[in-house]
Structure 1
Amino acid sequence: MTRQSGSAPRLDFEVHHSCWHEIDYNSIARGSISKVGNGDFAFNVDNTGMQTFIPFNTLSSWGWHNDSLPADGEKLSDYHGVEVLTHGRNVSYDLEDPDLPEVSKWLTANPNRVNLGRIGLKYKGDTLAQSLITKPRQELDVWNGIITSTFKVDGQDVKVVTQGDFETDAVTFQIESDLISTGDLQVNLDFPYPPKHNVTSSSDFEIFMGSYDFPLNHTTSIVTDPKGPRDGVAHIYHGMDETTYFVNFRWPCRSPLSLTRNEPQGSSAVTAHRFTLSPATSSRYERPSTSISFTAHFSLDLELPASPSAIRNRNSIAWNRFWSEGGFVDLTESSNPNATELQRRIIMTQYYMRVNSAGTGQIPQESGLVYNGWWGKFHLEMSVWHCAHWATWGRQQYFDNIFPSMYETLMPTSKARTHNMGWEGTRWPKMTELGTGGIAPGETRAYLMWQQPHPMYLANLAYQAKPTRQTLKEWDRVITETADYMSSFAWRNETTGHYDLGPPSKGVTENSFPLETRNLAYEIAYWRWGLDAAADWKRKLGRAVPEKWSTVAENLAPPPQIDGMYIPWEGSGLNSSWWEDPSLSKDPRSVIMLQGILPDTPAVDPEVGLKTSNKMWEVWTDANIRGWGRSVLAINSARVGNPERAIYHMTNYGYWPFDDAGMPTRSGPNPSPPPYFPGGGSFLYAIGYMVAGWEGSEGDTPGFPKDGTWVVKHEGLLKAL
């Protein structure tokens, strides 16, 4: 389909469909799926366009649940962190308390995001079996945000059209088959209960969320609107302890449906919370219906949902607008054999980032709205990777829907913890959620540092897109609180005269020794840039720059180096042999981030950075690069003037696969299940770097080789920092 004209001239480009022809059931079982959604809500589908034989999840940004509290006498109120001697004083960090092991685990896993329910097909009174499905084909129309699934059941054609809604947390279905008229094909609804989270590892990936084995732990019921029943409308209430919500249904009155409960209330069967949606029998209708059309709207409140036709119309318009606005990159005139797949990834990643990462007031969890990794909580150190592309790709509205409100929401709890630790300002946690702003005890989560300057980075992206006084004022409090903490955390080393960071400290690669290391290379350079950026922010507002900010920034220890190259940190006996130490060199990305995502700063010597980058090319081999590592390598390569390496990292498809549906994986050693959305966001951000450049870059497409095989047309992209 040709890309339509928007408010500005658009590239003449066909937005590709991503098609699955013969569905690979093994890839589906691994989590390779398609989906519809709006950034706050997503419905994940198997090859029936629903959740029929694979129990994929229905996730939201608002659906959370708490496990039962520890039953062994441990109390949440007794947890106050663990004291660690820090430059002469005891500081309580969010570590696992050996005296409160169950409380420590509970705080890590709670609250946890919940699967809101399953909607699939049933055949002849039972869940449609995979073995009965033949000739499956599924097409995702990204221009309109429509999934069309066709298949046969016992030789009879079935077609399911699935569509989401940008305006509400709803999904709509149009199901067509002669099997509906015979009563053999119906819609199956089911509601799981969250499992107890035992926290046996640092992440606990839940690909298929919820359990149907505890029917007596929760309640479901068909309820009526207090204002009275309406034709074509029904509601299901679901209560799980303190978590309650509704599924609000609507269908066309001319094609009435009947919602019935399969088991009596209070049943202890595993099917206790199943419901059936099927055509209503009525003498008013002469011919049996061969279609089912309905909206399922998930909400904390009982509401009147939009009709299926209204959602189908407005959501296609919204998707068309999404593709017609913002930045775009066209590689279709390129002769390079890698161009077609790179183009597909650029298109599909934008679709999935819109569905998973365009939330209201918060960044997504690393697995988006697909499944739970890290119990559904988001990671603040990934905020730039998740969201910087919104700003540089000209889609600022999605960026502004998240920032700075996310930091404002987290500020009260974060500021209180910072005060209790004896520092000024606000210290941002690593892993949390908006509801409580709570903590997750653990060494990496207690000591990680590189999320702290992110507000300065994000604020500068916001100001580049909208250089107004209003932008300056909106971000000023968050920047001030952040810089106050950063300057108070730095410790003056009387021997060197510099301000040190740590110990304790934990670096971006998470393989440092927190009680033995200080002055992590990337973190200390980022600290310098962040404090300078905060001072510049105050000057733009015409306000005084706090003296402490400038004193610390100008006297920070430099990023450590040996033999004319940067090394990850000082301490723990680190020397030039670290390049040959597989426990360290397996993930050395911190030393190239100094000239990767980090903007130019006096803390970084470009010549040392170039030499380090060249060494990295020799040492960090493809099999060891994981997650967003390829993106930062591509950014670094472009910035040091080596576009050949940049495009190599973006097109090394064998080592960085995107799954069958087009979502990024977390490749490398010990990969997590797909998808991995910091990989998707960083991929788009890196492409933006390579196409539009960065502050100080010269010429067009500085990250693409000028070898004649790449023809890069683009519009609407802004330079990165």
Structure 2
Amino acid sequence: MRVNQVAAGYCLLLAPSLAVARIDSELPSDYHGVPRETYGRQVFYDALPDPNLKQATQWLIGNPNRINLGRIGLTYKGATVSSSQITQPKQVLDLWNGIITSTFRINGKDVKVITQGDFEEDAVVFRVESDLLKRGDLGVELDFPYPPIHTTAYKYEVFAGVYDFPLNHTTSIGTNSKGSSASIKHQLQETSYFANLRWPGQTALELSRNDPGGSNSTTAHRYTLKPVSRKSSSIIFTAQFSPDQRNPSPPSIIQARNKLEWNKYWQEGGFVDVTASSNPNATELQRRIVTSQYHVRVNSAAKGQSPQESGLMNNGWYGKFHMEMVIWHNAHWATWGKQKYFDNIFPELYERLLPSSLARAKAMGWQGARWPKMTDPIYGINSPGDINGVLLWQQPHALYLANLAYQASPTRKTLQRWDRVVTETADYMASYAGLNASTGKYDLGPPSYGVTENTPPNSTRNLAYEIAYWSYGLDAAREWKRKLGQRVPDKWTHVAANLALPPQVDGLYAVYDGLNSSWWNDTKLNGDPRSLIMLQGILPDTPAVNPMIALATADKVAQVWTDDKIRGWGRPVLAINSARIGNPSRAMYHLTAYDYWKFDDAGFAIRGGDGGTPPPFMPGNAGFLYAVAYVVGGWSGSKGDAPGVPKGQGWIVKHEGLLKAL
């Protein structure tokens, strides 16, 4: 379970859960994958939608899923406070101490809500101050929604819960001492948990249910927490969510350690300061640097799992995280010198997914571990989707991340800790590549999807970035074995030496094999050619990539991939590539293209594009941080201070504690 602080004293919590959705005529166990011809044989892909099992397929896409554990807000005269009742709203985030202070007026009376999260428990402390408490008019409301049925209508689930099925779940008061604690049990078929409450004994609170049990009203699972007496104009309480009923930490304990942990976070690792710059873009750049560090700490500093695309704010993409995005979510921890957050996630995430990934590869006729695309950290199911079954570029990520870990701690312990993951990853990559009898080279696909997911999967062969990444990965795995003093498997060496090269057309790299020069005029492909600039920058040096051809390709991409087309994590890619190819002015332009790359008032990156995905977009913030560290701290082989920052444009950059990127 994880806690997320949000506006005006509300608290939204999400956690992995088994499904509560039902399907009528099909069972998930009926789904066995969909066949695709691969290197001359039929392979059943476990993550392609089955048109003959639409219900079962959709169930597997949406489940298991994260659920909204509870909403905590305010009531006025017995009714939920609405936005129309609130005037003069103001909210201030104390970044240094991790405190959100919300002030507003209800019926002309001042209300202040102070919110602090906890790093040790899944808990939040709220302090509410208002004379309305003395009148008995103001109370705290706890409400427990039901997970929406995860159909395609809820792919981008901003609201994270519905109130339409009150009889499908139950809530009940577990304890209510009227002294210092209470709890609410929430039961959703197989899933149950407790909302445990605690407050100081000198300000007794009372928990009551708004509607009787068994109500079919949309308010059936609402509860009110109010002072027993009207002597005080303030209340404070802890709200903790747990699989079991327990007494959470007192508010004062959480408040104290919350500040200490936030202070410690800001003092550890790296920092970048551009406030001495005369460039007019400096102030906004500094704001984005600081707020992004706050948001990744709240939304992304997990244990054993990578964040979902929208962090803890909502359930976009059914609330599941994407394996191809783990670098964009987490590589910044390493380059910003906050390695402990990186190590809290890796390699445990891969170790959790290893049994299911080994089984997946074996069932498909390959060796090693075939990592999923869109999944959950508990069961490792590869959720079906048109792209999910044949996406390639998540496979070498483990090798890239292992090298980041080794760069931060170049010890035998690091080598041994990652060795199983490295080995199984490379075993799969060498096994998956298919020998082309005509060329004598090893191909990747078809079927295959690449970074930009915009090519015909059943005929796409040898995507440029994926081929180069495969080459880098196999080389990295072989070097890993050498450092351990272990034998390098012959298969790895043979495939690496005979892997097809990234395709070229007229002296430039092409997205995949078989294209001619006209592809540069194909709007479907030139609308997002980021994979070609990833060959130099995101991808460390590899013999598979000719740096001069990559440079010429990057310049061509700069001509066709115009500002109006760039979205998501495209800007960090462009900034990193521009720095790498020796164009710092272009690198800084992409980091400060504020007219196109929007961050909202809270500092959340906005994905842009089709507008179908819910904000925020955490790879935007995390990718931005990775790009800033790359531009300022440099990369393997870079020379001088801040090699990606242009000289003579009013930039004065001070930094400390950054590590070079790969």
TM tier relative to shorter chain: over 0.9
- 2: CA distance, partners of 1:99 / 1:561: 40
Amino acid at match of 2:221: H
Q: Please give the per-residue CA displacement for 1:270-300, whole angstroms capped at 9, x wherever unaligned.
A: 211111100013xxxxx71101100000111
Is 2:228 aligned against 1:277?
A: no
- Counterpart of 2:196 in structure 1 is 248
Match of 1:134 in 2: 87
Q: For 1:524 and 1:70, locate their aligned partners in 2 and report how far apart those are by CA, in whole Å.
A: 40
Which residue of 372, 383, 398 corresponds with 1:440? 383
Q: Which stretch of structure 1 is more off in the superposition, 124-133 or 476-485?
A: 124-133
Question: Could you say which residue in structure 2 is the equivalent of 1:598?
Answer: 539
Equivalent position to 1:576, from 517, 520, 526: 517
Look up the match of 2:113. Answer: 160
User: Paired residue for 1:455?
Assistant: 398
Greater alpha carbon shift after TM alignment, 177-186 vs 76-85: 76-85
**Paired residue type of 2:204:** P
Residues 655 and 668 in structure 1, CA contact (< 8 A), matched pair in contact too: no
Contact 1:65 1:114 in 2 (8 A): no
Deviations, residues 379-421 of structure 1 (Å, cap 9, x unaligned): 0000000000001101111101110011111111111111000
Q: How far 1:668 moved relative to its partner?
A: 3.0
The within-5 A match list for 1:277-676 is 277-281=225-229, 288-571=231-514, 574-670=515-611, 672-676=613-617
In the TM superposition, what whole-angstrom CA distance separates every residue of 1:537-576 from its partner, at most 9, and x where no partner exists?
A: 00010001001101111111110011111110013xx211
- On the 8 A contact 2:157/2:614 being kept in 1, the answer is no
**Alignment-mate amino acid for residue 617 of structure 1:** A
- Opposite residue 126 of structure 2, the aligned amino acid is F
Report if aligned partners of 1:531, 1:549 keep a CA contact under 8 Å in 2.
yes
In structure 2, how many angstroms separate the alpha carbons of the residues matched to 1:426 and 1:474? Answer: 17
Contact 1:623 1:669 in 2 (8 A): no
User: What does residue 638 of structure 2 align with?
Assistant: 697
Question: 1:281-330 deviations in whole A, cap 9, x for unaligned?
Answer: 3xxxxx71101100000111212101111111100000000000000000
* 3-state SS of paired residue (2:389): helix
In 2, distance between residues paired with 1:673 and 1:208? 10
Q: Residue 199 of structure 1: CA displacement?
A: 2.2
- In the alignment, the residues of structure 2 paired with residue 121 and residue 483 of structure 1 have an alpha-carbon distance, to the nearest angstrom, of 54
Give, in whole Å, the separation in 2 of the partners of 1:670 and 1:198. 19
Other structure's SS at 2:156 match: coil
Deviations 1:462-490 (A, max 9, x none): 01111111100010000100000000011
Distance in 2 (CA, whole Å) between partners of 1:451 and 1:660 is 32
* Corresponding residue number in structure 2 for 1:192: 145
Partner of 1:215: 166
Name the CA distance, whole Å, in 1 between partners of 2:82 and 2:40: 65
User: Offset at 1:708?
Assistant: 4.6
Give the Å deviation of 1:670: 4.2
Following TM superposition, by how much is the alpha carbon of 1:671 offset from its aligned partner in structure 2, in angstroms? 5.4
Amino acid at match of 1:49: G
Aligned partner of residue 171 in structure 2, secondary structure: strand
In the other structure, the counterpart of 1:35 is none
**CA displacement at 1:669 relative to structure 2:** 4.2
Matched position secondary structure for 2:456: coil
When residues 591 and 449 of structure 1 are mapped into structure 2, their CA distance, relative to the original with a 3 A threshold, is same
SS in 2 for 1:171: strand
Opposite residue 58 of structure 1, the aligned amino acid is: L
Helix, strand or coil at the partner of 1:483: helix
* Structure 1 residue 607 displacement after superposition: 0.5
Quote the residue 2:9 is aligned against: 49
Question: Pairwise CA RMSD of aligned residues?
Answer: 1.3
Aligned mates of 2:595, 2:467 — CA distance in 1 = 34
TM-fit CA distance, 1:673: 2.4
- The answer for the alignment partner of 1:64 in structure 2 is 17
Q: After TM superposition, give the deviation of residue 224 of structure 1 in Å.
A: 3.2
Report the AA paired with residue 108 of structure 1: I
Larger mean CA deviation between 414-423 and 437-446 belongs to: 437-446
Contact 2:270 2:658 in 1 (8 A): yes
Question: What SS does the corresponding residue of 1:570 show, helix, strand or coil?
Answer: coil
AA in 2 matched with 1:182: R
Letter in 2 for 1:120: G
What letter corresponds to residue 703 of structure 1 in structure 2?
A: G
Tell me which moved more, 85-94 or 250-259: 85-94
Structure 2 CA distance for aligned equivalents of residues 78 and 189 of structure 1: 39
> Could you tell me which residue of structure 2 aligns to residue 21 of structure 1?
none
- CA apart distance, 1:443: 2.3
Q: Return the letter of the residue paired with 1:262.
A: N
Tell me how far apart the structure 2 counterparts of residues 297 and 667 of structure 1 sit (CA, whole Å): 35
1:624·1:669 contact (CA, 8 Å) conserved in 2?
A: no
- Residues 1:147 and 2:100 aligned together: yes
- The code of the aligned residue for 1:125 comes to G
Q: Tell me the amino acid that sits aligned with residue 539 of structure 2.
A: L
CA distance in 1, matches of 2:55, 2:363: 23
Distance 2:477 2:588 in 1: 34
1:498 to partner: Cα distance: 1.2
* TM-score calculated relative to the size of structure 2: 0.98
Contact 2:175 2:181 in 1 (8 A): no
Q: Conserved in 1, the CA contact under 8 Å of 2:140 and 2:225?
A: yes
Distance 1:589 1:131 in 2: 45
What residue number does 1:6 align with? none
Q: Residues 407-441 of structure 1: CA distance to partner in whole angstroms, max 9, x if unpaired?
A: 11111111111100000000001000012111211
**Stretch deviating more after TM superposition (604-613 or 125-134):** 125-134
Distance 2:340 2:94 in 1: 23
Shift of 1:232: 0.4
- Contact kept, 8 Å, 2:5 with 2:115, in 1: the verdict is no
The runs of 5 or more residues in structure 2 that have no matched partner are: none
Question: Do the aligned residues in 1 keep the contact of 2:5 with 2:117 (CA within 8 Å)?
Answer: no
1:79 aligns with 2:31: yes
| Identical pairs, percent | 62
Which segments of structure 1 move beyond 4 Å, counting only runs of 4 or more?
none
**CA 1:224–1:185: 2 relative to 1, 3 Å:** closer
Structure 1 residues 315 and 44, CA gap change in structure 2 (3 angstroms): closer
Q: Return the letter of the residue paired with 2:2.
A: F
Report deviation, 1:195.
1.4
Kept after mapping to 1: 8 A contact 2:20/2:188? no
Correspondence for 2:624 = 683
1:67 positional shift: 3.2
* Unaligned segments of structure 1, at least 5 residues: 1-39, 52-56, 282-286
What are the Cα deviations for residues 228-249 of structure 1, in whole angstroms up to 9, with x where unaligned?
x694011110001111111110
Matched residues in 1 for 2:40 and 2:553: separation?
A: 35
Q: Deviations over 1:499-533 (max 9, x none)?
A: 11111111100001111111100000000000000
Q: Which residue of structure 2 lines up, in the alignment, with residue 712 of structure 1? A: 653
